[in-house]
Amino acid sequence: MPVTILAIESSCDETAASVCVDGRILSNYIATQKVHEKYGGVVPELASRAHLQNIVPVVDLALKESGCSMQSLDAIAFTQAPGLIGSLLVGAQFAKSMALALDKPLIAVHHMQAHVLANLIPDDKPDFPFLCLTVSGGHTQIVLCTSPTTMKVIGETIDDAAGEAFDKTAKLLGLPYPGGPLIDKYAANGNPNRFAFPEPQIAGLNFSFSGLKTSILYFLQNAGSSNVFKEAFTATAEEKQRFIDENLADICASVQHRIISILINKVKKAAKETGIKDICIAGGVSANSGLRKALKETGDKMGWRTFIPAFEYCTDNAAMIAITAYYKFLQNDFVSLNISPSPRAAFDM
Ligand code: KG4
Ligand code: ZN
């Protein structure tokens, strides 16, 4: 009998639903919340309200697109952690209500594990064990995945996430939230070697991005005088703005180049230490064209097989929740209706 799962994702500012049959994605519907743009970041209360408005039509559309009826579902899955608690609650309550009304089992999914398993959606899948660089707005991790239901974080950021580095740089440049995709766009026409931002020296497989953010802040505040990174503010607000306007593409390309080199150097180290040659990326920042190109080129040089999810499976989506739930279903890994969502949760499984 085929296994049909409806999955719901609502951990941050995307309301998403997906239906998969035997691990094959039949629909993947996402409603993006535009309401946050003018605030320069996600406003939790507004996110919860938007999820409430979106969830019924989004689930309805995902079911219709898949051609599956509610009665044909074998389980309902939802993102249980981590995320904004108000946002998680909307998806969790909706999934629980459906499971109760339809008398179907409920599957709780960890959002970060789901990002990793987005790499199991295409036919061309990595072999186990594989390494995954997961880079999103809230996380930067190197994950060692030994089976669809066993994985371990072997390196992570000690401060900001890579997505935050992109978004905070964009904010300093006066660009709207989320700034990652805009930096990617402007970087395409810039010189990545024009400005040399420093690379942090962090031991082991961990990352740090907060120093980079500070150096960009000082760099912009000293704009126009020279390519300096120390605290000696010389530029007026007008000079700073003119400098940004005249050099936007080169600044974006140079910052992006540094973020990518920090990420790729740690992946190289992890691959060397573990001897693993199947290397994946995941998470919103894996939509970055420079990172995708750099991973492919590094992989070709190092003799790795690299796996890069399609764009729609990089940023938050419910298809990744559905594929993770499918493997949990095969292990009878169900939860009771008493389960609560959690803004933070241990990762290893
Ligand atoms: O995985 P995701 O959709 O949500 C979280 O779980 O955080 O990741 C969102 C992050 C944001 O920081 C956004 O700026 C970044 O992914 N992002 C990008 C690109 N597309 C999304 N960063 C750089 N280049 C992109 N093309
Ligand atoms: Zn995410």
Q: What is the pLDDT of residues 121-141, one digit of tens each?
A: 999 999 999 999 999 999 999
Specify if 337 maps to a domain: no
Within 6 Å (CB) of ligand 1, which residues are found? Answer: 12, 136-138, 163, 166-167, 178-181, 184, 283-285, 287-288, 315-316
- Between the CA of 288 and the centroid of ligand 2 the distance, in Å, is 14
Q: pLDDT-derived band of residue 228, with 50, 70 and 90 as boundaries?
A: low
Specify if 339 maps to a domain: no
Considering the domain architecture, whether residues 74 and 132 belong to the same structural domain is answered as no
Number of Cβ within a 10 Å radius of residue 171: 17
pLDDT at 349: 59
- Between the CA of 85 and the centroid of ligand 1 the distance, in Å, is 20
In percent, the amount of the chain with pLDDT more than 70 equals 97
Considering the domain architecture, whether residues 114 and 223 belong to the same structural domain is answered as no
CATH code at 182? 3.30.420.40
- Between the CA of 82 and the centroid of ligand 2 the distance, in Å, is 9
For residue 84, give the ligand nearest its CA.
1
Beta strand 130-135 with 278-282 is: parallel
Specify if 340 maps to a domain: no
Specify if 54 maps to a domain: yes
Atom of ligand 1 at shortest range from CA of 256: 23
- Classify burial at 318, counting beta carbons within 10 Å of its beta carbon; exposed 0-12, middle 13-18, buried 19 or more: buried
Considering the domain architecture, whether residues 238 and 90 belong to the same structural domain is answered as no
Specify if 349 maps to a domain: no
Distance CA 259, CA 152 (A): 23
pLDDT at 33: 84
- Classify burial at 274, counting beta carbons within 10 Å of its beta carbon; exposed 0-12, middle 13-18, buried 19 or more: middle
Q: What is the DSSP letter of 286?
A: G
pLDDT at 237: 86
For atom 2 of ligand 1, which residue has the closest CA? Answer: 284
For atom 23 of ligand 1, which residue has the closest CA? Answer: 180
Considering the domain architecture, whether residues 153 and 285 belong to the same structural domain is answered as yes
Beta-strand ranges (E) seen in 158-277 are none
Query: Residues 65-103: pLDDT tens digits?
Result: 999 999 999 999 999 999 999 999 999 999 999 999 999
- Between the CA of 293 and the centroid of ligand 1 the distance, in Å, is 16
Write down the mean pLDDT value for the chain: 94
For atom 16 of ligand 1, which residue has the closest CA? Answer: 284
Specify if 335 maps to a domain: no
Distance CA 96, CA 7 (A): 12
pLDDT at 232: 65
Considering the domain architecture, whether residues 150 and 276 belong to the same structural domain is answered as yes
Query: Residues 201-216: pLDDT tens digits?
Result: 999 999 999 999 999 9
Distance CA 210, CA 207 (A): 10
Considering the domain architecture, whether residues 21 and 96 belong to the same structural domain is answered as yes
Considering the domain architecture, whether residues 159 and 282 belong to the same structural domain is answered as yes
Considering the domain architecture, whether residues 99 and 172 belong to the same structural domain is answered as no
For atom 22 of ligand 1, which residue has the closest CA? Answer: 180
Are 23 and 67 spatial neighbours (Cβ–Cβ below 8 Å)?
no
How many domains are there within the chain? 2
**Residue of 36, 84, 136 to mutate, ligand 1, most atoms within 8 A of C-beta:** 136
- Between the CA of 271 and the centroid of ligand 2 the distance, in Å, is 24
Are 323 and 117 spatial neighbours (Cβ–Cβ below 8 Å)?
yes
- Residues near 58 by beta carbon (within 8 Å), at least 6 away in sequence: 15, 16, 17, 29, 30, 31
Considering the domain architecture, whether residues 144 and 250 belong to the same structural domain is answered as yes
Considering the domain architecture, whether residues 160 and 240 belong to the same structural domain is answered as yes
pLDDT at 336: 98
Name the residue range of residue 134's domain: 125-308
For atom 14 of ligand 1, which residue has the closest CA? Answer: 180
Specify if 347 maps to a domain: no
Considering the domain architecture, whether residues 98 and 222 belong to the same structural domain is answered as no
Query: Residues 144-191: pLDDT tens digits?
Result: 999 999 999 999 999 999 999 999 999 999 998 889 999 999 999 999
- Between the CA of 47 and the centroid of ligand 2 the distance, in Å, is 15
Considering the domain architecture, whether residues 97 and 19 belong to the same structural domain is answered as yes
Distance CA 162, CA 327 (A): 28
Distance CA 114, CA 116 (A): 5
